[in-house]
Chain A
Amino acid sequence: MFEIVHKRQLSEAVFEMGVRAPRVARKARAGQFFIMRTTDRGERVPFTFSDWSAEGGWIRFIFMRVGKTTHELSHFEVGDSVADVVGPLGIPTHVEDVGRIAVIGGGVGAAVAYPVARAMADAGNEVTVVLGARNEDLLILREEFEALPLKELLVVTDDGSAGEKGLVTAPLKRLAEAGEIDHAMAIGPAIMMKFCAATAKEHDVPCVVSLNPIMVDGTGMCGACRVSVGGETKFGCVDGPDFDGWEVDFEELMSRQRVYVDDERAADADYSRGCSCHQ
């Protein structure tokens, strides 16, 4: 069992959680993820590390309540335990001094972008962060990003309730056009990554994306997580999660993410009936 040692609600549906998992914390690197099962009947769900401490023996992650498991998890409190935590999984984000880089974090993707931006800055890069969300309420980690040694932090919301009104691709396009970036890294919903990669490509800027296909084991054993990259089938969990955004077949990824929507909706509805937060 793995004890929850930290919990913070970041917005209506977004939570930050810390779990005691010393073995995992010792090895965690930016861009990697772990798999959790909340209970013995639970599904194996992947989350990316947003932070960790080898000395403290804990890992943190930020999750959005989207379905049954994340819904259930949002009711776990400090002192409760989850059944399983396994990791770190996936190949860490490749961090080196590449010069000027834009790190784009959309929605909960900001949680994943945070350690990446930090590692990129530590490696000596000139880092511009584009932080996007549907509205101010869903904007997370703004203060944490502000505390990093960034060149610039650009905030964008769909409705203009915070920062610039629009999509993250707008500042990305400006940066690329002005020749102010040599590299981009986009982390967020598949549709956002798709348009970021396309925008970057138009300006010949390489763009790494962090994919989140459906997974089961996370160790290369099942193939649930397969994604097409440059016409080849790759396993998201062991070959990724980072891939060359120019080459990813995002349509396929989005389609594959929807495979169980009906089941998931039913499961969450079933769970919500007995759940205090839904009247």
Chain B
Amino acid sequence: MSPVEPDAGAAGPAEKPRHRPSRAPRTPMPERGAAERAQDFDEVALGYTEEMARAEAARCLQCRNATCIEGCPVNIDIKSFIGHIIDGEYEKGVAVLKERNALPAMCGRVCPQEEQCEIACVLAKKGEPVAIGRLERWLGDFDLACELEKRCVPEIAEPTGFRCAIVGSGPAGLACAGELVRLGHKVTIFESLHAPGGVLTYGIPEFRLPKAIVEAEIFMLTEMGVEIVTDAVIGATYTLDELMTEEGYDAVFIGSGAGLPVFLGVPGENLNGVYSANEFLTRVNLMGAYEFPKSDTPVARGRKVAVIGGGNVAMDSARTALRLGAEEVFLVYRRTEDEMPARREEVHHAREEGVEFKMLCSPSEILGRDGFVTGLVATRMALGEPDDSGRRAPVCVMDSEFEIDCDIVIVAVGTRANPLLAQAAPDLERSSRGYVLTDDEGATNIPGVFAGGDIVTGAATVILAMGAGKTSAHAMDRWLAGRSRAV
């Protein structure tokens, strides 16, 4: 299956010339200029051209021991798909990707590659790793650009007659659904919002992950036979129990995410103009508020916007606020840039576009007049001893309070498990913080009910959620097989 033998001196297979890795530096990603892109919601990174993809793929050593594969949470056969790009056999490359990842155009864009597959690439030890994520994106886009009939649809097993229900259409639910249909089960996804995709749709902004890509990848799943029912809140429209009894599903996967926004708990937080990142991003992404009044949902457009937090969600909020026309956007974070959990690339993009970083300060009060935000009181912080997470904990500097002038405050300090589903399924075992407890394969304490993604791990990443969805799909498949024998 692997296209070419490793470079380690051995002679290549007779029919193909031996791959000679290029020594060229890593191919940069073409991007729109910061000044231009900060004005609109179009994608920032333009993607490789075919030549760029070929040039970047040529850097891969096609290692005998391809360590990169271990770095990918879903163990994509990276060496093999890059080998196919080297050989110009793109369809085969797509097939390799889809073997492990139903949504490559998305993961290629939003995966934190630099700490997963790419950090594990042998080239990373000496210099720059192969741009695995960008190549994955290129192949994913290549597939989506094909006529529908020509797209790569994974093989689907004989129908088993079992029906599976999936709660939530985020990456965990989508990956689980994709895998279950491949295994021959009938699958229905129940989504509480009016559009599928979870955070991919309502959270991650258009300029980083175009919604057309999300829609196209979800469409492929429906082509494979996945049914998606929107406007269905499990716990309200149906209970978990009803899915298994009245609705006749044989197994259920819960991928409901960690959608409950956390607030700061400081005075003034309920003033008009204070948003959770979830609300702000949902208004803009899902509801299209940036097109108001063409779309019906408004969002407050501030002149000066303060975003609290240092993760991807904070970066996305800050960059979104800029695009809505804010004159100044501040990122207020209690530690330093080194401790920021956001991807380096996003931090870099945000800075380029003009987001101002106010590090080592923590908001202690939000100020307002006539019900609307007018500013923020922040306290300066210093880094103390390392805490449980190994990062140096911020400590307040006495009497260091100062004011930041702003008319919008966006709170992006994390999310927790949404209690809605759990309220309706009191038997489902959860941790003290509300996350669903499962074994390594996603099985919960209720037979036939599995869970994965952010609702199990807390806020994590797209690919980890997808990996969990897939693992659960196989566990569900085994569980169902056991049942058919028992009947």
Chain A positions within 8 Å of B, measured between CB atoms, are 23-24, 27, 37, 41-44, 68-69, 83-89, 216-217, 219-224, 226-228, 233, 238, 252, 255-256, 258-260, 263-264, 266-267, 270
Q: Which residues of A contact B370 (CB under 8 A)?
A: 255
Between-chain CB contacts (< 8 Å), 13 pairs? A23-B232, A23-B237, A86-B192, A216-B287, A217-B192, A219-B236, A220-B260, A220-B419, A221-B261, A223-B279, A224-B275, A258-B272, A259-B372
List the one stretch of B132-140, B290-298, B348-356 in contact with chain A: B290-298
Q: Give the Cβ gap from B69 to chain A, nearest Cβ, in Å.
A: 36
Q: Give the Cβ gap from B304 to chain A, nearest Cβ, in Å.
A: 17
Known: A258-B272, A259-B272, A263-B293. A87 touches B283 (CB 8 A): no
Q: Which residues of A contact B297 (CB under 8 A)?
A: 43-44, 216
Q: Is B184 positioned at the interface, with any CB of A under 8 Å from its CB?
A: no
Check B233–A87 contact: CB distance below 8 A: yes
Check B270–A233 contact: CB distance below 8 A: yes
The listed residue (A252, A264, A267) touching B270 by CB distance below 8 A is A252
Q: Give the Cβ gap from B454 to chain A, nearest Cβ, in Å.
A: 12
Chain B minimum-CB-distance residue to A254 = B371
Alpha-carbon distance between A263 and B293 when the two chains are bound, in angstroms: 8
Alpha-carbon distance between A119 and B90 when the two chains are bound, in angstroms: 64
Check B296–A263 contact: CB distance below 8 A: no
List which B236-270 residues lie within 8 A (CB) of chain A.
236-238, 259-261, 263, 269-270
Q: Which residues of B contact A220 (CB under 8 A)?
A: 259-260, 418-420
Check A259–B300 contact: CB distance below 8 A: yes
Alpha-carbon distance between A119 and B437 when the two chains are bound, in angstroms: 38
Check A267–B269 contact: CB distance below 8 A: no
Check A83–B194 contact: CB distance below 8 A: yes
Given A87-B233, A219-B259, 12 extra CB contacts under 8 A: A27-B237, A41-B288, A41-B296, A83-B194, A219-B233, A221-B261, A222-B276, A223-B263, A223-B276, A224-B275, A233-B263, A266-B293
Alpha-carbon distance between A266 and B270 when the two chains are bound, in angstroms: 25
Alpha-carbon distance between A222 and B420 when the two chains are bound, in angstroms: 13
Chain B minimum-CB-distance residue to A69 = B296
Alpha-carbon distance between A276 and B371 when the two chains are bound, in angstroms: 36
Check A256–B371 contact: CB distance below 8 A: yes
Alpha-carbon distance between A255 and B279 when the two chains are bound, in angstroms: 18
Chain B minimum-CB-distance residue to A255 = B371
The 4 closest A-B pairs by CB, nearest first: A255-B371, A222-B279, A263-B298, A43-B296
Q: Give the Cβ gap from A142 to chain B, nearest Cβ, in Å.
A: 32
Q: Is B445 positioned at the interface, with any CB of A under 8 Å from its CB?
A: no
Known: A86-B231, A256-B371, A266-B293. A217 touches B420 (CB 8 A): no
Check B293–A223 contact: CB distance below 8 A: no
Q: Give the Cβ gap from B439 to chain A, nearest Cβ, in Å.
A: 27
Q: Which residues of B contact A238 (CB under 8 A)?
A: 419-420
Alpha-carbon distance between A260 and B301 when the two chains are bound, in angstroms: 11
Q: Give the Cβ gap from A87 to chain B, nearest Cβ, in Å.
A: 7
Q: Which residues of B contact A270 (CB under 8 A)?
A: 293
Q: Give the Cβ gap from A116 to chain B, nearest Cβ, in Å.
A: 19
Q: Which residues of A contact B269 (CB under 8 A)?
A: 233
Alpha-carbon distance between A227 and B300 when the two chains are bound, in angstroms: 19
List which B272-288 residues lie within 8 A (CB) of chain A.
272-273, 275-276, 278-279, 282-283, 287-288
Q: Give the Cβ gap from A196 to chain B, nearest Cβ, in Å.
A: 22
The listed residue (A37, A217, A256) touching B272 by CB distance below 8 A is A256
Check A86–B283 contact: CB distance below 8 A: no
Alpha-carbon distance between A42 and B294 when the two chains are bound, in angstroms: 9
Q: Which residues of A contact B298 (CB under 8 A)?
A: 260, 263-264, 267
Alpha-carbon distance between A163 and B270 when the two chains are bound, in angstroms: 39
Check A219–B300 contact: CB distance below 8 A: no
Q: Give the Cβ gap from A57 to chain B, nearest Cβ, in Å.
A: 14
Q: Give the Cβ gap from A198 to chain B, nearest Cβ, in Å.
A: 20
Check B371–A263 contact: CB distance below 8 A: no
Known: A89-B233, A226-B270, A233-B270. A221 touches B278 (CB 8 A): yes
Alpha-carbon distance between A256 and B232 when the two chains are bound, in angstroms: 28
Q: Give the Cβ gap from A129 to chain B, nearest Cβ, in Å.
A: 28
Alpha-carbon distance between A243 and B272 when the two chains are bound, in angstroms: 21
Q: Which residues of A contact B237 (CB under 8 A)?
A: 23-24, 27, 86-88
Q: Which residues of A contact B288 (CB under 8 A)?
A: 41
Alpha-carbon distance between A215 and B352 when the two chains are bound, in angstroms: 34
